Amino acid sequence: MQRLFDIIFSGLALILLLPLMLPLIIILRITGEGEVFFLQSRVGLGGQLFHLYKFATMLKNSPNMGTGTVTLHKDPRILPMGGLLRRTKINELPQLINIFKGNMSIIGPRPQTQRCFDAFPVSSQKEILKVRPGLSGVGSIVFRNEEEMMHVNNDPDEFYDNEVMPYKGSLEKWYVANQNIRIYFSLIGLTVWVILVSKPDAIWTILKDLPRPPQSLEKWM
């Protein structure tokens, strides 16, 4: 049933958003480095790798610069148009193609690069591989301010591996164990909410048994 909704929603969204996406394609083509799309290998269902589509927001060689695949708030690798596209999540719209093709779902664990996926606890990895990754999901909503969180930390890689990913892994495990159509639509609504108000706290009101954040992350939630 979820796959049927994914096809319907992603197909309609691609048609309705075309008037927004076409001007963006032109603007990106004539600004920055002239790149329109950014394709990156991500871990998908069953551990299969696939190419995730995004509008280009960072320098082409950014995975080999600075913090690699971990992005910080106000990262110097972000292009002039990139900051706006990332804040509004418009850079994620090309993933509607991934959803329509079947690489992703509208809701699911956020697809990770191999380096970031490997930072999940092994128990979380095994569960995450059971479902299609999502355009949005529990982890994406709770960690709405992840880039800012990483930016203020003295050792972003250590903080990411030892604080962020264990908790994010527990959130994604919760989703896999509890997924159903009600949660699917609830998370779509919550995604819209956090984009509009930038605060993820409503998620614990709606999903009451969701794992609570550890003390080290509470101030960001």
Which contacts of 142-146 are long-range, i.e. CB under 8 A and separated by 24 or more positions? Answer: 142/168, 142/171, 142/200, 142/203, 142/213, 142/221, 143/168, 143/200, 144/194, 144/198, 144/199, 144/200, 145/198, 145/220
- Mean per-residue pLDDT over the chain, rounded: 88
Name the pairing type of β-strands 134-136 and 105-107. parallel
For residue 69, what are the CA distances in angstroms to 4, 75, 81, 123? Answer: 32, 12, 19, 22
Domain locations in the chain as residue ranges: 2-220
Q: What is the Cα–Cα distance from 75 to 181, expressed in whole angstroms?
A: 37
What pLDDT is attached to residue 219?
78
What pLDDT is attached to residue 221?
74
For residue 50, what are the CA distances in angstroms to 7, 71, 114, 162? Answer: 18, 20, 11, 26
First-to-final CA distance of the chain: 31
Q: Which of 42, 115, 56, 51 is nearest to 84 (CA)?
A: 56
Q: What is the Cα–Cα distance from 77 to 61, expressed in whole angstroms?
A: 9
Dump pLDDT digits (tens) for 47-67: 999 999 998 887 766 665 555
Query: Residue 60: what are its φ and ψ, rounded to 5°?
Result: -55, -35
Dump pLDDT digits (tens) for 172-217: 999 999 999 999 999 999 998 888 876 767 898 899 899 999 988 8
What pLDDT is attached to residue 85?
82
Contact at 8 Å (CB) between 173 and 109?
Answer: no
Q: Which of 116, 123, 90 is nearest to 24 (CA)?
A: 90
Helices first, then strands: H and E counts in the chain: 12, 4
Q: What is the Cα–Cα distance from 27 to 132, expressed in whole angstroms?
A: 32
What pLDDT is attached to residue 47?
97
Dump pLDDT digits (tens) for 74-131: 666 777 777 778 878 888 899 999 999 999 999 999 999 999 999 999 999 999 999 9
Q: What is the Cα–Cα distance from 31 to 27, expressed in whole angstroms?
A: 6
Q: What is the Cα–Cα distance from 191 to 105, expressed in whole angstroms?
A: 14
